[in-house]
Structure 1
């Protein structure tokens, strides 16, 4: 397929290249040849209006037909073949194996929701009538779920497939019966267009209203504001920085009609290393943490950013092993030059903080590549410098040496909300692990034992969210079968005749 550089507006490709932009080849650090059009205010308006029109028919589409649509999208994504992989690799600098795996996850997510729709997983709750109940008879009540309406989705920078055009937010919204207006990420517009072409083909094959999906390209910040404030948009899914997320949240809060904003904004994913684990497996654990940190050049939302333990005679063994592993890492490319520059500035600023020591750095490389960095500090310095408590997007980790159990409890109290935390322990550490787990559970959406935080299983029991700023709604997940509930609302039907009930609620 060829890249048009245009926006997909309800089945039609359009775009004015007067204000066009290009992505950057992340590895070569040079502009890519494709030019993309900044969407106009009119095009965004058309996309939202057509999505609103499509909602009338799409929301009534039987579950089995929505399932077929989701599967067809997956088939069309696979049919893109190597072209999709090559484009995504060029735009992000991520290796082909990573993109291939992410493509599999994207198709798998679509298939998961298709399976659940076919199985009647979301059919609702039935409470039968009881005419004999005293003092009043009980009516027949049935709890069902209605799609919210048009959903605005913002693609993630670090997952060009699984959290972008046909990613988890799009898949769960379409599964719920909601049309999607997708704002592509400006770092990988070519990848976004290819996937949009696949979705457009699936719409055609399944004979669905083309307004059910539109792709908006552009670097113009006004596009985001127009989407989140538009009265026809009824929910927003966002993955990005805390700064941008809070701007969008503020704009949503000023709407006459409040709508849900499901934002994933940042996480340091603290690691808690217990005493016996440190004494018996220091070197292995250090190497595993470095390997987890380096996945995607530290650009996973679940990357382990802070490693904590109570100091002991085993501390030097762990730190030496971690330093050696960091020093052996090769310099790598980040998703965009701006992200690489921001990372380098953060690492440089940390080196100027009194009480913070740079333990090790990775190997140097091409000028626009980044080196891994491992720092160490104490609780007093950590408390005094809030910058150390924020997520660093890139291959950087901070070791926090604690003096005793009291400092450990104080550190947990300082933590903001996180997507994950992990406890690394042996059976001998069970008492201490229990104390940590009880406290840390209130700070995270997923608590892990003796495994790394990177990697998210797409299944019914997964929760990918957490207290702010990990996400803007700690009651929801953006991964797994429960993600669909973000784009539905409950409705109770009381004493309704069968003919007036939705299919799944009929006797």
Structure 2
């Protein structure tokens, strides 16, 4: 599939005008052809208006038609697996094999959402039948289903240029819900984004859907993103990135004449609490495993286990030594962008200024833009005294926290802000402490992991990838897993309607063969 540098607005390929950009190969520092078109408010407006035109027809597609469209996208992603992975490698410096797996993951997500659509449970059909003889007043017939919100803007992420980008889970779940998508591609991987966009564009044409179901735009600076968030026809936004960037979009959306939801995934250190018996029995294994996972993707992962906390005692020294040994074996690797690398360097400099002691370092960088793996240690008192030590540093660094006692462990747990995940490592003898720790963690995260690490994460019906602020801007929702579709739906009640005017999920004959809640009882199709 040829990369042309065009924006994809509906079925149109919009070539470069006066302003362009080129992708950067962060490993070599060289720019990559071709030049990519950059747009602004006019292109944003055109894409959103097409999406709005597409909404009524697309949101009313039947389950079979919409599911077939999602399966078609999955098939087309699989067909370009090799070239998509190669282009992502050029634009990030990360391994081709990693991106092949990421393509597989994204294709699998589209197929899983096709199953969700066919099942129809996401509609949450509810029927409360009329009670004409009820006293003192009769009750009319009430029927409820979930409907799509409207056009959705999706901001691509920098660190996972496929599975959290143009053809990632946000796009899959929005399309599954019946929402047209305008994708704002990340400028760090424009070619990777274009290939994914062309896959979706081709699937729309083959499925015979309205061209406005999907558009791909990009632009310099913040102009096009702000224009998309401000557009009165946009009904929701998703964003994966920094707390600063996410909250800027969130606040902007709340200042609109008609505020809209912005579903952000922003920052998390995913703390790991190693309880005393587990520390004594498995400290070295836990320390080594955590350090290995923290170095994944050069530490540029939202679920990186960045902090390990344990009470100083039997096993603590072994934990430190094992983690340090893993870090010391790690080669310096190219980070995603020069900006991300510079932020990482500033972060570790700040950590040292805040009193963290370096206890392990990987190979020194040989080239500009490489991130060095680093392990630091602080006491529990230092962690509690300095909030910055509890904040994310995006890159290959880990913080080991030496706690004085279990009381300080609970105090440290309460000091963390909202997280995407938290883990506890425990033996049977630790269950009393674990039982006290669990309610503290439940208030601060969307996923609690037991005797395992936060990364990697399975994509299931039970997956939660979310948590209290600042992990996300709305802890009621997940951005990964089948529940992610809930972000793009709202309930509508149909009162006293004749059967022939009701949406198919709510008709008396149940033509879609859905599970439904009828007069408070769950009924089989």
Q: TM-score range by the shorter chain?
A: over 0.9
SS at match of 1:308: strand
The answer (yes or no) to whether the contact 2:278–2:425 under 8 Å persists in 1 is yes
Displacement after TM superposition at 1:146 (Å): 1.2
- Match of 1:491, SS state, is strand
Task: Determine the structure 2 residue equivalent to 1:177.
Answer: 178
Whether the aligned pair in 2 keeps the contact of 1:55 and 1:150 (CA below 8 Å) is yes
Deviates more, 1:267-276 or 1:324-333: 324-333
Q: Which residue in 1 is equivalent to 2:254?
A: 253
Q: 1:415 is matched with which residue?
A: 416
Shift of 1:31: 1.6
SS at match of 2:36: coil
Mapping for residues 79-158 of structure 1, pairs under 5 Å: 79-123=79-123, 124-158=125-159
State the match for 1:58 in structure 2: 58
> 1:26, 1:337 within 8 Å by CA — same for their partners in 2?
yes
State the shift of 1:223 in Å.
0.9
Residue 81 of structure 1: CA displacement? 3.6
* Local SS of the residue matching 1:247: helix
TM-score (norm 2): 0.94
Give the Cα separation in 2 of the matches to 1:421 and 1:169.
23
Question: How big is the shift at 1:486?
Answer: 0.7
- When structure 1 is superposed on structure 2, of 172-181 and 91-100 the one drifting more is 91-100
Is contact 1:36–1:218 with CA below 8 Å preserved after alignment?
A: no
Corresponding position of 1:206: 207
Taking the aligned partners of 2:129 and 2:381, their CA distance within structure 1 comes to 61
* Contact 2:272–2:425 (Cα < 8 Å) also in 1: yes
The farther-off stretch of 362-371 and 219-228 is 362-371
2-structure distance, mates of 1:399, 1:243: 26
Tell me whether 1:39 sits opposite 2:39 in the alignment. yes
**Which consecutive unaligned segments of at least 5 residues does structure 1 have?**
none
C-alpha distance in structure 2 between counterparts of 1:360 and 1:122, whole Å = 48
1:309-348, CA deviations, whole angstroms, 9 ceiling, x for partnerless residues?
Answer: 1111321111111111111111112111211121122112
Deviation at 1:387, TM superposition (A): 1.9
Aligned counterparts of 2:250 and 2:122: Cα–Cα separation in 1: 29
1:218 paired with 2:223, answer: no
Matched residue, 1:362: 362
Q: Deviations over 1:213-267 (max 9, x none)?
A: 0001223311111111110000001101001111111111110101111000110
CA RMSD of superposed structures (Å): 1.3
Mapped to 2, the partners of 1:204 and 1:314 lie a distance apart of 60
- TM-fit CA distance, 1:498: 1.4
Give the Å deviation of 1:495. Answer: 2.3
Deviations 1:27-67 (A, max 9, x none): 22322222111113211110111111111211121121111
Aligned equivalents of 1:501, 1:361: Cα separation in 2:
65
Give the superposition deviation at 1:411: 1.0
Equivalent runs, 1:379-398 vs 2, <5 Å:
379-398=380-399
Give the 3-state SS of the residue equivalent to 1:152 in structure 2: strand
What is the total number of aligned residue pairs between the two structures? 506
Contact 1:15 1:39 in 2 (8 A): no
Asked if the contact 1:47/1:181 (under 8 Å) is kept, the reply is yes
Query: Normalized against structure 1, the TM-score is what?
Result: 0.97
| C-alpha displacement of 1:381 | 2.0
Match of 1:71 in 2: 71
CA contact (8 A) 2:288 2:319 kept: no
Displacement of 1:18: 2.3
Displacement, 1:205?
0.3
What corresponds to 1:16 in structure 2?
Answer: 16
